[in-house]
């Protein structure tokens, strides 16, 4: 793709710069969106910054990267034959298997011909006279489309903190969300990991087994529960196939979009022995089962404290050095108010002689030197640094693109006090621009694949509706956007989730407005709301010829 003019692109021998739709991103969202829009007969181009499909599962190749929703549920449901022909090997699939699955999907539905890889979209501008989007890429191309769909992902804008001296480091540096495709061998190396979120918690046990010494720089300890991963049993797989339709229906109408048995009792309304038994059973189940142990865990601080104390007792029982156990114990925010982590061997890793935990809340990192990390107390000599420092979540990937709506108003300006959307799907003043799993939708608070499918289907039905009626544009009204934002907030404030300094509220990015971004009313409730709005002729939207 080296010989391109500024206004044309060539994919599969086809030259065009005018499309019905442009999709940004070829992960779970972009691939299914392409499949649906092609089904409607739309000429569609996908731009993807990576050199392959997969989105988050293309970039996050760090050792131990694994999904923590069970694979049978964290997979597309739209095609029965796809479900029947694909066999997952583990309860929770690892990154290579999910990437392979998405490559299979791209081939199976012949999607590649419409995807231009190694191309980053840098700008998208709405032309009011033409009622079309102009999309520009980092290759200097410019194309136009009636519809622009952002399938850019919620956790795709990787963030490395602006440490003083970082450019002077002579060793190797990696971010978990931009891991080299060829992998990294840490054998015999002194490695530092900065961060202890989900990515770090997954990769630390692997790094510890390879490195000569691993230094873990922790600012805030997280609650982590065991995955109890293992091979997917043939009985479970058979049961899924036999009851697939029923299970998918259950998940679509649930709180989180995947199976969690919700105990209707209050944690405070049962005897301590029953509470302990319930938590132990959930811990044995593994994964997010803990979240459903009692109905009020995420609603009532006292109830939450019983779950928090249970996990703290597990940390104390696992980590042999009481001082290290104390450092690993979260105390300053409610259980699960920061995204609950799911691990394999995380806490036992701190019993290894070659692992040192450094509390950088108590003794902050002052700078990165040419040979390592210097805190206010000591310097740690390192061969490699792994930044497991997270993402500019939910809004980062959208705001990294220069998006201009009506009258050229930049999205950055519209969102200067935090993201505003209607349903997390559309933005007032940005006609025909759709955001799959955008801020204000269940997104990261749910089984992402299920929420992606719901958005893709809603968006493609909406585009079909417009075309059948010869309507050119759809646009969220300011009133609908304001009302939805107030509702998202109200629901969040009913829970304990906003009480942590988490990426859910943008607290991990200096200067980012603090707004609780996901909608946590439940995927079933949310789906119903979206369906009713569509059934009423897209209430809250203006549809114009
Ligand atoms: P993260 O949860 O945001 O964790 C980032 C870590 O880096 C935190 O411990 C944070 O500390 C630390 N950090 C950030 N800036 C720092 C600084 N300047 N100095 C010291 N420490 C700093 O990011 P993540 O682990 O990549 O996970 C992000 C999300 O991706 C997860 O919550 C999850 O939703 C998703 N994810 C999913 C999976 C899965 O499904 N298996 C796996 C990985 C990630 P503070 O807490 O103090 O800010």
Q: 61: Cβ below 6 Å to ligand 1?
A: no
* Mean local confidence (pLDDT), 275-294: 97
Q: Is 67 in the pocket of ligand 1 (CB under 6 A)?
A: yes
At 89 the pLDDT is: 97
pLDDT tens-digit series, residues 336-355: 999 999 999 999 999 999 99
pLDDT of residue 1: 28
**Residue 175: CB within 6 Å of ligand 1?**
no
Q: What is the pLDDT of residues 227-248, one digit of tens each?
A: 999 999 999 999 999 999 999 9
Q: What is the mean pLDDT of the chain?
A: 96
- Determine if ligand 1 sits within 6 Å of the CB of residue 75: no
- Terminal alpha carbon distance of the chain: 37
pLDDT mean over 322-342: 98
Residue 3 has pLDDT above 70, yes or no: no
Distance 237 CA to ligand 1 centre (A): 32
SS3 assignment for 438-507: CCCCCHHHCCHHHHHHHHHHHHHHHHHHHHHCCCCEEEECHHHHHHHHHHHHHHHHCCCHHHCCCHHHCC
CA proximity to 335, closest of 296, 302, 308, 299: 308
According to the model, what pLDDT value does residue 15 have? 53
**Atom 37, ligand 1: which residue's CA is nearest?**
198
Would strands 372-375 and 379-381 be described as parallel, antiparallel, or unpaired? antiparallel
Using a 6 Å cutoff on CB, does residue 159 contact ligand 1? Answer: no
> Is the CB of residue 503 below 6 angstroms from any atom belonging to ligand 1?
yes
Q: Which of 68, 400, 84 is nearest to 241 (CA)?
A: 84
Residues 144 and 18: beta-carbon distance below 8 Å: yes
- Quick one: pLDDT at residue 16? 76
List own/partner pairs for 412-415 with CB under 8 A and 24 or more apart: none
pTM above 0.85, yes or no: yes
Residues 405-431, mean pLDDT to the nearest whole number: 98
Give the 3-state DSSP-derived string for 62-88, with helices as H, strands as E and coil as C: CCCCECCCCCCCCCCCCCHHHHHHCCC
Question: What's the pLDDT score for residue 2?
Answer: 29
Does pLDDT of 6 surpass 50? no
Q: Kindly tell me if the per-residue pLDDT of 366 is higher than 70.
A: yes
Tell me the pLDDT tens digit for each residue of 159-177: 999 999 999 999 999 999 9
Our answer on whether the CB atom of 95 is closer than 6 Å to any ligand 1 atom is: no
Residue nearest to atom 41 of ligand 1 (CA): 67
When pLDDT is averaged across residues 287-313 and rounded to a whole number, the result is 97
Residue labelled with tokens 């442009």: 22
């Amino acid at each position: 793709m080296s010989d391109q003019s500024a206004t044309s692109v060539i994919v599969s021998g086809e030259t065009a710069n005018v499309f019905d739709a442009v999709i940004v991103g070829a992960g779970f969202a972009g691939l299914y969106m392409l499949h649906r829009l092609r089904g409607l007969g739309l000429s569609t181009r996908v731009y993807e910054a990576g050199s392959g499909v997969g989105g988050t599962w293309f970039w996050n190749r760090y050792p131990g990267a694994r999904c923590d929703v069970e694979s049978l549920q964290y997979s597309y449901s739209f095609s029965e034959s796809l479900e029947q022909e694909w066999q997952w090997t583990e309860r929770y699939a690892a990154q290579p298997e999910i990437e392979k699955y998405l490559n299979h999907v791209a081939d199976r539905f012949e999607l590649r011909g419409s995807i231009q890889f190694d191309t980053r979209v840098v700008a998208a501008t709405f032309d009011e006279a033409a009622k079309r989007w102009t999309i520009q890429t980092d290759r200097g191309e410019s194309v136009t489309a009636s519809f622009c769909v952002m399938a850019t992902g919620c956790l795709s804008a990787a963030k490395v903190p602006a440490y003083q001296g970082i450019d002077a480091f002579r060793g190797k540096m990696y971010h978990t969300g931009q891991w080299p495709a060829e992998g990294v061998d840490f054998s015999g190396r002194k490695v530092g990991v900065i961060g202890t979120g989900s990515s770090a918690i997954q990769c630390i046990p692997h790094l510890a087994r390879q490195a000569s010494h691993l230094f873990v720089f922790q600012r805030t300890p997280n609650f982590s529960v065991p995955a109890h991963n293992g091979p997917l049993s043939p009985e479970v797989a058979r049961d899924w196939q036999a009851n697939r339709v029923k299970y998918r229906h259950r998940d679509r109408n649930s709180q989180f979009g995947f199976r969690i048995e919700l105990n209707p009792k209050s944690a405070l309304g049962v005897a301590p022995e029953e509470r302990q038994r319930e938590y132990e059973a959930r811990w044995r189940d593994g994964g997010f089962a803990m979240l459903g142990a009692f109905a009020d865990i995420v609603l009532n601080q006292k109830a939450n404290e019983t779950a928090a104390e249970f996990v703290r007792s597990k940390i104390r029982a696992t980590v042999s050095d009481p001082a290290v156990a104390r450092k690993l114990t979260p105390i300053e925010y409610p259980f699960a108010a920061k995204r609950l982590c799911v691990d394999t061997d995380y806490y036992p890793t701190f019993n290894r002689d070659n692992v040192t935990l450094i509390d950088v809340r108590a003794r902050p990192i002052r700078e990165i030197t040419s040979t390592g990390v210097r805190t206010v107390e000591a310097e740690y000599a390192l061969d490699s640094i792994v930044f497991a420092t997270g993402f500019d979540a939910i809004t980062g990937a959208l705001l990294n693109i220069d998006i201009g709506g009506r009258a050229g108003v930049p999205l950055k300006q519209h969102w200067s006090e935090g993201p505003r959307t209607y349903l997390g799907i559309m933005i007032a003043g940005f006609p025909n621009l759709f955001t799959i799993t955008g801020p204000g939708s269940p997104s990261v608070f749910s089984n992402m694949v299920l929420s992606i499918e719901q958005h893709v289907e809603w968006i493609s039905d909406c585009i079909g509706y417009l075309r059948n009626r010869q309507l050119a544009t759809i646009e969220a009204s300011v009133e609908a956007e304001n009302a939805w934002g107030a509702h998202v907030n109200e629901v969040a404030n009913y829970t304990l989730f906003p009480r942590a300094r988490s990426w859910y509220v943008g607290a991990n990015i200096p200067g980012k407005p603090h707004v609780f971004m996901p909608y946590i009313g439940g995927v079933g409730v949310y789906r119903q709301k979206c369906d009713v709005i569509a059934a009423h002729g897209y209430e809250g939207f203006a549809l114009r010829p």
